[in-house]
Structures are given as C-alpha cells and as structure tokens.
C-alpha cells in the first residue's frame, strides 16, 4: 500500500498534519475550558493526556471585535478570501462571549449569506481542525471497544406502548454485549439495574456505545427512569452524567428530529440511523426495524428468538420462565446490533480518520460539509483567508434519456469510470477560488488511493484485512463521488456553481459523443442513465461478448479525450425499459435487477412489489400474456382465499413531518400549502404514542368494497388477527388488477 514511500495516511491534507495514532476520543476538559482531554489507546492500554486549546473564529474585518470587552489575538490571513482575519481566544468561554457579541451587534448568524463572521460551534471540531489530529489513526475497526445496549420495557394494561412517564411502566431487562463477545443481562429491581448499568459501562470502559433506536427510545427511557429513581447516569469517562439536546438529521428527503445524547469521552452510534443512510442509495429496505434489517443482511441467527411486543408484559408476569425467554430475545437484539454496526460502521470509522469531527458526528454530517472541513482545515494551517460561500443558483444536470420502451434482448452496458471526477481532472474544471489548489490534488489522490485500496483488498489474506481495505475503498469512492456535489453545495466555502455547470455540460457532451459513435458502429441505444449506456451490440461482435466488449472498448476509448476511460462492464439476457431511469435487467444467471422508483416504489404493498417483480421476470424471459394472466390469477386467489399473512398486504410508511406539523397542514387545506389526510398520520394521532419524523407505521385496509378512503379504513398491522381476518379483499384485488393493467401494453399476446 505504498507509492514510493508514501502510505495512505501520509497525505497531510487528507488525513490531517498531526500523525498522533490511537486517539479514540477528544473532549473539552471539565472546568478547564482552555484545555482538551485526549484519550489514546497505546499497546492495548488507554491513557489520557491534556492538550492546550485555543478556540477561534474568522472575521471579514477585525473591527467587529473592537467593542467586545474580552481579549483576543487577531491576525490577518493571506489570500483574497472575504474572511481575512482569524481571531483566537484564551478559552471556550471567551469564544462564546465573542460569538454572542458578534451576533448581537451585527444581527447576523453563521448561516447568514452576508454575515461578517464564520465559526464552528464545536470545541472538538475546532481542536481537531487546529491541531490536524483525527481519531483512530493507525487503528483497525476491530480495535475499537464497542458495547451494545438494548432494553425491554413493561406496558401497563390498557396501553399499547410503554411510557417511561407512567409509574407502572418500567425497564424489565437490560441486555449488554461488546465487541469481544462478552454479553450479559440485567433484571430485577429497576433502580438496581440502572446502578449496575452505570457500573458495567464505567468498568468495561467502551469507546463506542451502540444500539438500535438508541436516541429516540432506549436512552430517553433510561434517562427518565433514572431520574425517577434519582440514579445519576455517570457514564462519562470523567464520571459526568449523560446529557442531551434537541437535534435533527437530514436523510434524503426526510428530516429526523431526535435528542442527541452525549457521553463524555465516548461515542454513541445508533444503527437505526446507519440503516437509513445505507438505504438512501440502495432503496432496498422495506423496514428500518432491527429484526427486518438483520434478516435482510443475513445477520439473524437461525435459532433467533422472536416475540410480539404485546407478549412482553405477560412474559414478565409469568415469572422466571417468562423472563428467561425475554432474556434470550434481548440478547439476540444486541447480537444483531453488534453485527449490524460491524457491517455499516467501518466506512464512518475510516472517515473519522480523515475529517476533523468526532465519530458520532461523522455519521450524521453530510458529505459536502465534511469535504468543506478538509479545505477549511488546510487553509487554516496555511493561514489563508476563507472565501464566502457563493449564492446558490440552479444549473443543468446530467444526461439521461430513453430511446426504447419495452423488452430488448441481449443488452450490453458501458459507462465512463467516475465520469464527473474524471471530467474535473481531465479538463481542469476546478473551483476558481481554491487558491491553494487543494481540490485537484485531493481528488487525484483519492482516486489513486481507492485503486490501491482495491488492489490491497484483492490481495488480502484474512477477513480482518479484507474488511479494512474494503472500508477504505468504499470511503474513498464516497468521497470521490461527493466532490462534484461539493461544487454545487450552497454552504461550501469553495463551491463554484459555474464549475458544477461546466462539469455536467462536459459530461453530457462526452456521453452524446459515445452514443453517436455506438450508433455509427451499428449498436441500438436503449437508455442512458447519467454515466452509463445500455445498448444492443453491433451484429459483428454480438456473438462473442468477451472479445466483442474488448473490441468496442478499445475502439471507443481511442475516440475519447485523455483521462476519460470507458468500461464495458456487463451483459444482460434482456432488459425491460419502462421510463427514464426505470428499468429491469435479467442476467445470465437468472437474477433480476430492478431500478427506479416507478418499478420498486415503497408506495406499493409487498404483494404488489412481488407480483410486479414476477411479471417483469416473465416479460424478460419472453413469456406470453397467458403466463402473466396465470400469475395474476395466482395472486388474486391468494387474496380472496386469505392465504397470506398480513405482511403481504400491509403498507409501511415513514413519517416525514411531526404530528403537530401534520395537523397544521391539514388545517391549512390541500390547496393552500397544506395537504390531504393520510392513513399513517391518522393512525399515529389515534395511537396516543409520541411518533416523530422518521418513525414508521404499518397498516392495512379494512372494509368490503374496492372504493374506500384509506385514512378512514386503515388499521394498524399489529392489530390484525389471523383468526378473525378483516382485510378488504375487494380493495386489494382491485389494486392487483390495476397494477397488471398498467403494464399490459408491454405484454405480448
């Protein structure tokens, strides 16, 4: 993993200029706000050291602090950026005082487009940025000491959900495990359990605490019950209590509000958030619940204990036998959490080695924000002025088009490797205000590092090494692909909307040239999806895909600009092209891959998704209408004869708004900036449970006619009774037939 004598971590702009290895946590020292406490792991042992801390902020003019009564060292920075002065303070308290003074006297905030100051209101980020240190240098993910936590709670009679505020509701059991394989359960007196929990965490001293939905259930519940029993949750490495404050995270189109918990000297990783970030690009998870996700990834043991949440109170009331079953269930929860975190956390672990943020902050911050931090860190090191972010403006995006609808046989695929990064490097389309030239060097190094990480991955001899280099190459891929997005990021100090527009324009030009060449060569173009082209090959190469692809690759590459590399990377038996960026592919091994929201929408119930997939398979295999109608009848019969569990018919929806916002939108009316009523929200309101954005609700439709209003006829899936089935057969049959008709014009007679 060397280029000459340089290893991956030797790049100071990417990994920070301080090579200190083994840092697992950094915190502002309690009671000494001009000092940071740094925990390091050396030779398997944990130690802590104190480091001086001098917080700072940027100004457009030093005069803005003339009327502030405190003391600051102000230096002028080189370069043409608007933020030309760096003010350094003796303590975090002084920094906060100056920050408040600036906001009060200017009326601006750090987000104000024309504000005269910029700062990071996070002492850890400031210290890491100033020193060039990052977490976990020289470490492998498996060297982190990770502890998993899950609680099981009692729900009083007459209530559907447990509430920490009700005296009779309580924690029944706490399950704990860690990355060494150790595990235990705590049960009995609630107050004593909470004390034991504090003791175990203090004694085992984990770097990371993991759980599924920790932020919005387990930790708030533990906090509330500890307050009731007057138990101090002194979980910090300095014996301080766990704390929290309101926060929110943007995940694709969803904004999730949650209480952000912090434990001094430790990181908290919620796998509930990890799976949602994962699903942004894949769109393959039907639910974000732990059991469903574990099954999806193949992490659930064959002998896994499953319980209906409604069973838990009766198990608690049943005595030792019931609690033993509950313990098995909870231990399976923490085992699955451990496996899930081990699967989804390593990329963030690598990012924490790169970016000047704490581990749990790396998870929730956007890629463009993290890339901006690399620029800011290096400009700070070289004492260069920061430019002000450009005003946002729209620009034309990538090239997508569709030339054929329906089924096509023998389809090949080619694309430009890393199209936008390659365009930026090949044509020097770079942010004009990056006076140090960091953008180009970082992008080139990241691309080189990814290739080297992929080579090391192929050569790895053991699983731990493979996992390490796989996490590296995945992280570098994410960062490489984020550099284009950074150009058009409204809060980027070095963003450049003209450059972003030039990148997409050059990308469109290259792809259109590739299409013209392929057509001239005798290919039939089916669809183009941003950087890839699906086409039927010319007749002279169609019979020998291996040689034919190499021939086309060599010929087409010769026509492309230097630095633009084309890859002929896949062949399919058939392709169903439905709409732009919505298609299905059948490979030689019989696997069907479906792309696009129109063909794999979460708005469809499971029976619709499965019927659509089977119908698409029949189309791709060249089957006639009779075969599709037979499949339609099979599904219709299953609905009418009640052969399916409710999971096949139920719909799961994720709440995007809070219930209060939903009420306000309903009151405003659909035509006045409001919205129509929706089944998931109406059920949430009726439940009495404090649902929040990001929560999911599963429901089904009852009644006996096809034409019903969903929000009036919805019933929670958890209330379905297999002995007294009440699902609306006519409604579901009607939806099935409508789905068939939607695609009937593509089905050959």
DSSP code, position 543 = T
State pLDDT tens for residues 435-464. 999 999 999 988 888 888 888 888 888 888
- The CATH class of the 141-346 domain is alpha beta
Region(s) of the chain under CATH 3.30.420.10: 141-346
What value does the mean pLDDT of the chain take? 93
pLDDT for residue 531: 75
pLDDT for residue 380: 98
Laid out side by side, the sheet with 85-89 consists of 72-76, 85-89, 56-59, 117-118
From the number of C-beta atoms within 10 Å of its C-beta (0-12, 13-18, 19+), residue 130 rates as: buried
Band (251; pLDDT cuts 50, 70, 90) = confident
Question: Is the four-CA dihedral 325, 329, 330, 334 of positive or negative sign?
Answer: positive
Q: How far apart are CA 650 and CA 644, in angstroms?
A: 11
Laid out side by side, the sheet with 696-701 consists of 651-654, 696-701, 714-716
Band (7; pLDDT cuts 50, 70, 90) = low
Q: How many CB atoms lie within 10 A of CB 196?
A: 17
- The CATH class of the 606-746 domain is mainly alpha
Going from the C-alpha of 216 to that of each of 210, 222, 675, 692, the distances in angstroms are 13, 11, 27, 9
Region(s) of the chain under CATH 3.90.1600.10: 390-430+496-600
pLDDT for residue 2: 43
Q: Are 655 and 693 in contact (CB under 8 A)?
A: yes
Question: Could you identify the residue written with the tokens 């399919």?
Answer: 572
pLDDT for residue 8: 56
State pLDDT tens for residues 213-237. 999 999 999 999 999 999 999 999 9
pLDDT for residue 628: 96
The tokens describing 664, both together, are 């306000």
Region(s) of the chain under CATH 1.10.132.60: 606-746
Q: How far apart are CA 688 and CA 673, in angstroms?
A: 26
Q: Which residues, 6 or more positions from 449, have their beta carbon under 8 angstroms from its beta carbon?
A: 8, 11, 14, 472, 476
The pLDDT of 91-95, averaged and rounded, is 97
Q: How far apart are CA 397 and CA 529, in angstroms?
A: 12
State pLDDT tens for residues 31-70. 899 999 999 998 889 999 999 999 999 999 999 999 999 9
Residue 87: which H helix or E strand, with range? strand 85-89
Q: Is the pLDDT confidence value at 505 over 90?
A: yes
pLDDT for residue 538: 95
Report the share of the chain in percent with pLDDT over 90: 79
Question: Looking at per-residue confidence, does 673 or 407 come out higher?
Answer: 407
Q: Which residues, 6 or more positions from 275, have their beta carbon under 8 angstroms from its beta carbon?
A: 285, 288, 293, 340, 344
The pLDDT of 585-602, averaged and rounded, is 90
pLDDT for residue 5: 37
The pLDDT of 201-222, averaged and rounded, is 97
Q: Is the pLDDT confidence value at 1 over 50?
A: no
The pLDDT of 181-201, averaged and rounded, is 97
The pLDDT of 731-746, averaged and rounded, is 96
Phi/psi of residue 184, nearest 5 degrees: -160, 165
Question: Is the four-CA dihedral 513, 514, 518, 523 of positive or negative sign?
Answer: negative
Q: Which residues, 6 or more positions from 682, have their beta carbon under 8 angstroms from its beta carbon?
A: 711, 714
pTM for this entry: 0.89
Region(s) of the chain under CATH 3.30.342: 2-137+352-381
**Quick one: which of 254, 287, 278, 160 has its CA closest to 658?**
254
The tokens describing 417, both together, are 């490797």
**Quick one: which of 91, 51, 27, 92 has its CA closest to 237?**
27
State pLDDT tens for residues 272-330. 999 999 988 777 887 899 999 999 999 999 999 999 888 999 999 999 999 999 999 99
Q: Which CATH number fits domain 390-430+496-600: 3.30.470.10, 3.10.300.10, 3.40.50.1370, 3.90.1600.10?
A: 3.90.1600.10
Of 517-521, 652-656, 714-718, the poorest mean pLDDT is in 652-656
pLDDT for residue 9: 61
Of 101-110, 476-485, 517-526, 604-613, the poorest mean pLDDT is in 476-485
pLDDT for residue 441: 92
The pLDDT of 399-428, averaged and rounded, is 94
What pairs with residue 117 in β-bridges? 59
Topology of 2-137+352-381 in CATH? DNA Polymerase; Chain A, domain 1 (3.30.342)
């Amino acid at each position: 993993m060397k280029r000459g004598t340089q290893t991956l971590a030797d790049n100071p702009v990417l990994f920070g200029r301080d090579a200190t290895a083994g840092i697992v946590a950094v915190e502002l020292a309690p009671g000494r706000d001009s000092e940071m406490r740094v925990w390091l792991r050396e030779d398997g042992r944990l130690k802590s050291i104190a480091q001086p801390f001098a917080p700072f902020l940027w100004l457009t003019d030093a005069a803005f602090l003339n009327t502030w009564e405190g003391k600051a060292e102000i230096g002028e920075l080189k370069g043409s950026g608007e933020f030309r002065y760096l003010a350094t303070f003796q303590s975090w308290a002084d920094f906060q005082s100056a920050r408040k003074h600036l906001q009060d006297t200017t009326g601006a905030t750090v987000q104000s487009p024309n504000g005269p100051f910029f700062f990071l209101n996070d002492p850890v980020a400031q210290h890491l940025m100033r020193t060039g240190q990052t977490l976990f240098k020289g470490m492998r993910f498996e060297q982190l000491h990770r502890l998993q936590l899950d609680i099981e709670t009692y729900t009083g009679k007459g209530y559907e959900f447990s509430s920490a505020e009700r005296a009779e509701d309580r924690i029944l059991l706490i399950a704990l495990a860690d990355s060494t394989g150790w595990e235990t359960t705590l049960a009995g007196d609630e107050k004593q359990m909470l004390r034991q929990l504090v003791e175990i965490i203090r004694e085992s001293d984990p770097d990371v605490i993991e759980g599924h939905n920790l932020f919005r259930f387990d930790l708030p519940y533990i906090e509330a019950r500890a307050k009731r029993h007057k138990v101090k949750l002194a979980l910090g490495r300095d014996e301080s209590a766990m704390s929290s404050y309101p926060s929110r995270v943007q995940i694709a189109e969803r904004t999730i509000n949650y209480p952000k918990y912090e434990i001094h000297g430790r990181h908290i990783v919620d796998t509930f958030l990890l799976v949602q970030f994962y699903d942004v690009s894949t769109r393959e998870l039907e639910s974000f619940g732990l059991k469903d996700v574990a099954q999806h990834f193949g992490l659930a043991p064959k002998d896994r204990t499953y319980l209906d949440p409604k069973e838990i109170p009766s198990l608690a009331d049943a005595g030792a036998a019931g609690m033993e079953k509950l313990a098995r269930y909870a231990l399976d929860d923490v085992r699955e959490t451990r496996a899930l975190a081990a699967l989804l956390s390593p990329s963030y672990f690598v990012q924490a080695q790169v970016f000047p943020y704490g581990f749990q902050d790396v998870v929730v911050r956007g890629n463009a924000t993290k890339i901006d931090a690399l620029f800011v860190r290096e400009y700070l090191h070289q004492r260069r002025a920061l430019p002000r972010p450009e005003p946002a403006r729209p620009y034309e995006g990538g090239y997508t088009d569709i030339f054929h609808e329906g089924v096509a046989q023998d389809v090949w695929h080619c694309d430009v490797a890393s199209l936008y990064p390659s365009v930026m490097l090949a044509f020097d389309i770079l942010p004009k205000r990056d006076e140090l030239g960091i953008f180009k060097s970082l992008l080139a190094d990241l691309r080189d590092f990814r290739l080297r990480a992929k080579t090391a991955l192929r050569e790895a001899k053991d699983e731990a090494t493979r996992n390490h280099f796989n996490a590296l190459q995945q992280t570098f891929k994410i960062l490489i692909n984020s550099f284009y997005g950074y150009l058009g990021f409204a809060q980027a100090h070095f963003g450049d909307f003209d450059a972003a527009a030039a990148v997409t324009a050059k990308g469109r030009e290259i792809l259109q040239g590739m299409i013209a060449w392929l057509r001239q060569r005798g290919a039939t173009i089916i669809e183009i999806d941003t950087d890839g082209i699906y086409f039927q090959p010319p007749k002279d190469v169609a019979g020998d895909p291996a040689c034919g692809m190499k021939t086309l690759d060599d010929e087409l590459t010769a026509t492309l600009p230097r630095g633009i590399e084309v890859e002929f990377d896949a062949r399919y038996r058939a392709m169903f092209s439905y709409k732009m960026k919505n298609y299905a592919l059948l490979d030689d091994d019989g696997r069907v891959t479906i792309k696009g929201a129109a063909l794999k929408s979460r708005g469809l119930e499971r029976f619709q998704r499965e019927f659509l997939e089977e119908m698409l398979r029949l189309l791709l295999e060249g089957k006639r209408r009779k075969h599709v109608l037979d499949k339609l009848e099979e599904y219709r019969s299953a609905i009418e004869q009640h052969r399916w569990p409710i999971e096949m018919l139920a719909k799961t929806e994720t709440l995007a708004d809070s219930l209060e916002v939903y009420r306000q939108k309903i009151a405003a009316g659909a035509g006045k900036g409001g919205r129509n009523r929706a089944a998931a929200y109406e059920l949430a309101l009726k439940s009495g449970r404090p649902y929040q954005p990001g929560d999911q609700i599963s429901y089904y439709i009852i009644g006996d006619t096809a034409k019903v209003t969903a929000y009036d006829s919805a019933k929670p899936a958890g209330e379905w009774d297999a002995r007294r089935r009440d699902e609306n057969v006519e409604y579901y049959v009607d939806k099935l037939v409508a789905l068939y008709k939607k695609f009937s014009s593509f089905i050959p007679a």
